[in-house]
Chain A
Amino acid sequence: MSTNDTAVPILSARGLHHSFGQTEALRGIDLDVHTGEVLAVTGPSGSGKSTLLHCLAGVLVPDGGSVTYRPAELAPMGISSLGEPKRARLRLTDFGFVFQFGQLLPELTAVDNVSIPLLLSGTRRPEAQRRSTELLERLGLEGIGAKLPGELSGGQAQRVAVARALVTSPAVLFADEPTGSLDSLASENVLTLMLDLVREAGTTVVMITHDARTAAYADREVIVRDGAIGAGYRVSA
């Protein structure tokens, strides 16, 4: 897709450092996420992938370094220097999240689960339900709106989670092992549906995975090892 030379960064991390107690999770990470790209973040377990994603998304404030949202624009936003309420607001309006599993509220129907981000940002419930149902249909989930998560298959539940992440039309979608608990076919299904929607809308994706076949769906891959971007590694495009 985009190359390093012409790409416009949407998220820019500089010199990220973060520790949990004695453990250094991130030790000096510089990374640009380009607008509209699908970026795979890979690396061994415990390498700091998730911590990097949490810092990029404004979930964690890094101990050192900065994360800037839309750095190329007139008013870039220093995510890492915002307070939690503002970061929460930003996550709600501009970011979407998909995780490995168990992210749906078990007591809510599929449609209500998808509606929650819309309700939180002030959309009226009938409108939120209409948009949620529509999105579920585009993800091939006609007629499951009234079901509870416990009544869905793993792949269906994961698609509901994707719908919830995308229902607010976020600028960046963060996915942490989005197909980690699915079999090959179901994960391929979820990934292609998700990426089709994302590419159509021009949404940027930051996707953590340890699975090469999943990473192969990305435009670009960075490897995190020991809290740093893989040394001497040629970022391929």
Chain B
Amino acid sequence: MNNSITLLGLLGREPSYGYDLKHSYDRYFGAGKALAFGQVYSTLARMVRDELIRALGEETGGGPDRKKYEITVAGQDRVREWLFTPDVPSESLQSNLFAKTVIALLLDDDADRLLDVQRSEHMARMRELTRLKKDADLLRVLVCDHGLFHIEADLRWIDLTSARLAQLKKELQSA
């Protein structure tokens, strides 16, 4: 899961302080492993440098926790590109897809579409594996089956999440 782009996505909702940003992140994604403040501030600094975000007028003190940040147009494009680019199906995919879904819902973007796009990518991979099985030796068939069953597990998660999107959105917005 890409932490920086997730933070960028959270900033997409509304301008906010680094301190608040960290807490938002922890609430949605940080179950069991909260972000360190240092990591947040270094990421924010890097994104300011890349012009994905900018600081809104400085307040007293001038420390990073006193700064309020806002996403730029370039930053918004970066987030959308991330959302709708399917990941290569793999066992470790889950957390990234999860982050995408949450961010899309928080941004009021089309979470359905992103799941469909991912689903399509999964199916394409499954078809490929199924084709590979044809005329292959048993060892190769077993390897393909292993992949197929794992991708299928993802697909099931995708289908289940699609079915629960409305409920999830309601929960996120009320939080």
Contacts and interface: CB of A to CB of B under 8 A. Distances in A.
Direct contact of A and B (CB under 8 A): yes
A231 B110 CA distance: 11
Contacts of A212: 122-123, 126, 151-152, 155-156
Interface residues of A, number: 17
Which of B112, B119, B129, B156 is the most central at the interface, judged by chain A CB atoms within 10 Å of its CB? B119
B48 interface: no
Given A44-B163, A233-B120, A216 B112 contact: no
Interface in A162-205: 192
B148 A213 contact: yes
B120 A232 contact: no
Contacts of B120: 233-234, 236
A233 B148 contact: no
A216 B159 contact: no
Contact of B127 (A192, A216, A233): A216
B116 A221 contact: no
Question: Does more than half of chain B's interface fall in helix, strand or loop, or is it mixed?
Answer: helix
Given A212-B126, A212-B152, A216-B130, A44 B112 contact: no
B116 A213 contact: no
Contacts of B23: none
Given A212-B155, A232-B110, A217 B130 contact: yes
30 contacts: A212-B122, A212-B123, A212-B126, A212-B151, A212-B156, A213-B126, A213-B130, A213-B148, A213-B152, A215-B123, A216-B123, A216-B126, A216-B127, A216-B129, A217-B127, A218-B127, A219-B127, A221-B123, A230-B116, A231-B116, A232-B112, A232-B116, A233-B116, A233-B119, A234-B116, A234-B117, A234-B120, A236-B120, A236-B123, A236-B124
Interface of A: 44, 192, 212-213, 215-219, 221, 223, 230-234, 236
Interface of B: 110, 112-113, 116-117, 119-120, 122-124, 126-127, 129-130, 134, 148-149, 151-152, 155-156, 159, 163
Q: Which 5 A-B pairs have the closest CB atoms?
A: A216-B126, A216-B130, A233-B116, A232-B113, A212-B155
